[in-house]
Amino acid sequence: MTILLASGSAHKVAEVRRILETAGVTADIVGLGDVSPYPEPVEDGATFEDNALIKARAGFAVTGLPTLADDSGIEVDVLNRMPGVRSARWAGGHADDQANLDLLVRQVADVAAERRGARFVCTMALVWSGGERVVRGVVEGSLATAPRGERGFGYDPLFVPRGETRTTAELSDTEKDAISHRGRAVRAMAPYLTEVGE
């Protein structure tokens, strides 16, 4: 069973492969770099769910492969749950992970520790000939006072999951997968992936 993960991020593709393997799902997960290029749709949805479905529907329509897509980001309480769906573009349309992280660090620099609540959210959509499924994974936590750790990507160096003292960039892949928003979403999606193979 080949499933397209509608993402150009090698980090995400590797992460989803790992999580599914641990969950006992046998599938060949390929990313956008493994299929013929196609114009990626504009992610103009108002919610994570909207954007995940936009990407999954586009991937399935173009390739005919069952397509997974996620939209994920960080919600920061003192920023009224922003960046939210704008997490990947928080510092501008062409910003990279470092620019987004640096901007968030500056925005919360003077916020007291007890007011630095945040959460990572991942919504995952699956579109295939048998229908559509959407699931969500959330991990609550807070923002560190400064980025720490060399692992992970995106906002990982700033986010401390609830019950942890380390940022997600300081956790091993196995530790992160067990509690992460994407890990939770992928595990919630796993039962539906067995429907695809039937």
What's the one-letter identity of residue 154?
A: G
The pTM (predicted TM-score) of the whole model is 0.90
**Domain over 2-196 is classified CATH 3.90.950.10:** yes
Contact in structure between 112 and 56 (CB atoms under 8 Å): no
Per-residue pLDDT band for 167 (boundaries 50, 70, 90) equals very high
pLDDT value of residue 110: 95
For residue 90, the SS3 value is coil
Contact in structure between 157 and 103 (CB atoms under 8 Å): no
* Residue-range domain boundaries for the chain: 2-196
Tell me: the pLDDT tens digits for 29-80? 999 999 999 998 999 999 999 999 999 999 999 999 999 999 999 999 999 9
Tell me: the pLDDT tens digits for 99-151? 999 999 999 999 999 999 999 999 999 999 999 999 999 999 999 999 999 98
Task: List the structure tokens of 4.
Answer: 């397209």
pLDDT value of residue 133: 97
Per-residue pLDDT band for 162 (boundaries 50, 70, 90) equals very high
pLDDT value of residue 198: 60
Helix (H) or strand (E) holding 173: helix 173-179
For residue 43, with 0-12 CB atoms within 10 Å meaning exposed, 13-18 middle and 19 or more buried, which class applies? middle
Distance CA 69, CA 76 (A): 23
Task: List the structure tokens of 193.
Answer: 């992936």
| 28 assigned to active site | no
For residue 64, give every residue at least 6 positions away whose Cβ sits within 8 Å of its Cβ, in sequence order, or none. none
What's the one-letter identity of residue 138?
A: V
pLDDT value of residue 194: 82
Q: Catalytic pick from 71, 96, 110, 156?
A: 71
